[in-house]
Amino acid sequence: MLANRDGFNKMDDEYFAPTYKSVMSLFEYLMAALAAALLCFCCTLIFYQSDGDIARLYKSRKNLLLAFLLVSEAAYHLAVPIDNIDRTLVGSFFRLLTLSAVEVLFLWYQWERCGIIVAASMSTETIQVFRVILWATTFTCFVPPFAIWAPILVQRLIQIAVGISVVILEVFFSVVSIRIITRKTKEVIDSVRESTSTSNTDSRLRHKSPEEEAEEQRDMYRLKLMELTATLYQNITATYGFAATRYSFLVLVFFCATAVTGSQMNPSPLFVKLYTVFVILHHFSILMAGAMLVQMKVKLGGAAQQAENMLMQNVQATSSLVV
């Protein structure tokens, strides 16, 4: 028989030996430790990229959202074994609250990070619609912790509402990311080559002085460097944002899978094993979604240098061909 008091399907103690529970608790503690390690790495990275300005951590909304997201992930992985051992409404409330925080912080971080991309690829009316959906989802996600005393049917309906709203936003972020990913950086590189070739030709026709040619080349270089850096920022944000969204979608899929396999009145050994696998995949996907966002920040930190290296290589290659 299942204990459904918190909206999560849980098999009774008779199906899980103490050794099994201990192993699963160790797994959750490992996930919490990894989330904490990601948090420490993220804070160190922010400190390094800001040249020792620790104020960047709390003055940037994106940095705050990412830091609190990783804190919530660690708290959730700690709450799960506590809830499994304690098996009270208080433990379930904390478990659901931390999971809701992870969902909301993830969605808001994606929205903040993808803001420029969204503004460049969507109409103002569309952005306003999804902003309303985002606020509605934020409210809906925090309803389950306070509905653990409600009837099971009410809890299920709330979970369905949360799932639908989250899926809508994940599809939105995925569509935006795919649009940007399909716009290759090659377009900017080609324009650099064309501009360099045109500039060299024009300077020959107009017989510019070496100083004028050098100044024109520097202006063109700075302009193209800004264009290429912006393009790389968008591509990195879209690529890793899409990867994080995929893991977020897997979180929802495996959550539903645990609900189905854990809802059996008299589960067979197969269902117990499937339930265990889905729980592990569910919690691992939560960790990986955060890891993709941290990886995005790492790549964004090196985007400017990468753009300069790419630009220098192509300018030098084009100049040698023209000469």
Tens digits of per-residue pLDDT, 263-295? Answer: 666 667 777 788 888 989 999 999 999 999 999
Q: Please enumerate in sequence order all residues whose Cβ is within 8 A of that of 175, keeping only pairs 6 or more positions apart, or say none.
A: none
* DSSP tag of 146: G
| Per-chain mean pLDDT for the chain | 76
Query: How many other CB atoms are there within 10 angstroms of residue 122's CB atom?
Result: 17
Task: Give me the phi and psi of 309, to 5 degrees please.
Answer: -65, -45
Nearest of 123, 306, 317 to residue 230 by alpha carbon: 306
Over the stretch 25-54, which tens digit does the pLDDT of each residue have?
889 899 999 999 999 998 888 887 776 666
* Start-end of H helices in the chain: 18-49, 56-59, 61-86, 89-113, 115-121, 124-141, 152-181, 186-206, 210-261, 269-301, 303-322
Asked whether residue 197 carries a pLDDT value surpassing 60, the answer given is no
**Which pLDDT score is estimated for 202?**
47
Q: Please enumerate in sequence order all residues whose Cβ is within 8 A of that of 248, keeping only pairs 6 or more positions apart, or say none.
A: 106, 166, 170, 285, 289
- pLDDT band, residue 7 (cuts 50/70/90): very low
Tokens of 306: 């990468």
**Contact criterion met (CB below 8 Å) for 141 and 100:** yes
pTM attached to this predicted model = 0.77
Q: Collapsing DSSP states into helix, strand and coil, what is residue 294?
A: helix
Residue with tokens 């192993």: 23
- Name which of 22-31, 65-74, 208-217 the model is least confident about: 208-217
Q: How many CA atoms lie within 13 A of 240 on its CB side?
A: 20
Dmax (CA) of the chain: 90
**Contact criterion met (CB below 8 Å) for 162 and 126:** no
CA 106, 108, 112, 114 dihedral sign is positive
Asked whether residue 4 carries a pLDDT value surpassing 80, the answer given is no
